Chains A and B, each alone.
Chain A
Amino acid sequence: MLAVAAGLSVAQACAMSLLVFTGASQFAVVGVLGAGGAVAAALAPALLLAARNALYGLALVPVLRGRLPVRAAQAQLIIDESTAMARAQDDPELARRAFLATGLSVFVCWNVGTLAGAALGGALGDPRSLGLDAMFPAAFLALLAPQLGRPGARTAAIWGAAIALALVPVARIGVPVLAAVVGVLPATVELRRRARRAAP
């Protein structure tokens, strides 16, 4: 629905959910495009957000066994939710089942939802009067909240928010979001300090 409001066709919105299948990245692309950003400015933060799936993939290596085609197909289901469910299980076989069940059900719901939303979005009127633009920050907040428990995540988020906000008046669309990555640096410093204090 949001994708269509940002100028994607219904087919493109559905293709993105099928091919990209990483919520935060998809919202990032559509959010920056909708704000009038260039395609390159929209893709960069999306790719950075997708990079954490590589970490998930590496963490799931003991769980995702099987022949090459099976592993290749399973890889597409690597997202926040399926990784979290798999990590919650101690037994590798149970973890694999949890991963597949979560990944597949989210995949189906996500794509059906995209099709419905995109079809509906085309029929709706002015996206602003419907409050569709307010959906983006709400969606990002819902995605961010569960991650704030990780060490250093709060510091990274606060700095990322401050940097992005400070750059809005001066930088081109898309740049403030990208610059928010710099928020990782103070968070890393904090982690180092904590580790040093913990060491005897």
Chain B
Amino acid sequence: MTWGALIGLGLAAYALKAVGPLLAGHRPVRPGAAQVLELVAPALLAGLIMVQTFGGDHRIVLDARAPALGVAALLVWRRAPFLVVVLCAAATAALLRSLG
């Protein structure tokens, strides 16, 4: 990753955040539009979960990442803290790989 791309992403991310507070006083977003835009993150995150768990080189792979995701799901459901969820998932995958 180049520094240019990194700084570009930083500037873009900041610009998005700053739209509201810096250009304040404009009319608010229509509630309908806001509701639709709020759906972008769940759709993308779900897509990322699938690709990062089952994605391989142009094929679907079932390996230690899948049971690790299961452990993560259980912990998220039990409302475990973020770090606990992430570290337990890593430990699950590492353990399964060291066994098999």
Residues on A close to B: CB < 8 A? 7-8, 12, 15-16, 18-22, 24-25, 27-29, 31, 33, 35, 39, 42-43, 45-61, 64, 68, 71-72, 74-76, 78, 128-145, 147-148, 150-154, 156-161, 163-165, 168-170, 173, 176-177, 179-184, 187-188, 191
Residue of A56, A151, A153, A182 with most partner-chain B CB within 10 A? A153
* CB-defined contacts of A49 to chain B, threshold 8 Å: 40-41, 44-45
* CB-defined contacts of B77 to chain A, threshold 8 Å: 145
B42 contact from A19, A139, A156, A179, Cβ within 8 A: A156
- A58 and B39 within 8 A (CB): no
A168 with B6, Cβ < 8 A, contacts A59-B20, A177-B47 known: no
B16 contact from A12, A51, A143, A179, Cβ within 8 A: A51
- In the complex, A27→B45 CA distance in Å? 10
A-B contact pairs, 12 of them (CB 8 A): A47-B16, A51-B16, A131-B90, A131-B92, A135-B87, A150-B42, A165-B51, A177-B44, A180-B47, A181-B44, A188-B39, A191-B36
- In the complex, A42→B19 CA distance in Å? 23
In the complex, besides A145-B76, A152-B39, 6 extra interface pairs with C-beta distance below 8 angstroms are A27-B48, A138-B89, A153-B39, A168-B54, A184-B40, A187-B43
Interface residues of B in 3-59 (CB under 8 A from A): 3, 5-14, 16-22, 24-25, 28-29, 34-56, 58-59
A163 with B47, Cβ < 8 A, contacts A156-B39, A168-B58 known: yes
- A138 and B41 within 8 A (CB): no
A102 CB to nearest chain B CB (Å) = 14
* CB-defined contacts of B47 to chain A, threshold 8 Å: 160-161, 163-164, 176-177, 179-181, 183
A168 contact from B34, B59, B69, Cβ within 8 A: B59
- B48 and A177 within 8 A (CB): yes
B58 CB to nearest chain A CB (Å) = 6
- B18 and A75 within 8 A (CB): yes
A12 contact from B3, B29, B34, B39, Cβ within 8 A: B3
A141 with B20, Cβ < 8 A, contacts A131-B94, A169-B59, A176-B55 known: no
B18 CB to nearest chain A CB (Å) = 4
- B82 and A53 within 8 A (CB): no
- In the complex, A68→B85 CA distance in Å? 39
- A183 and B82 within 8 A (CB): no
A31 CB to nearest chain B CB (Å) = 5
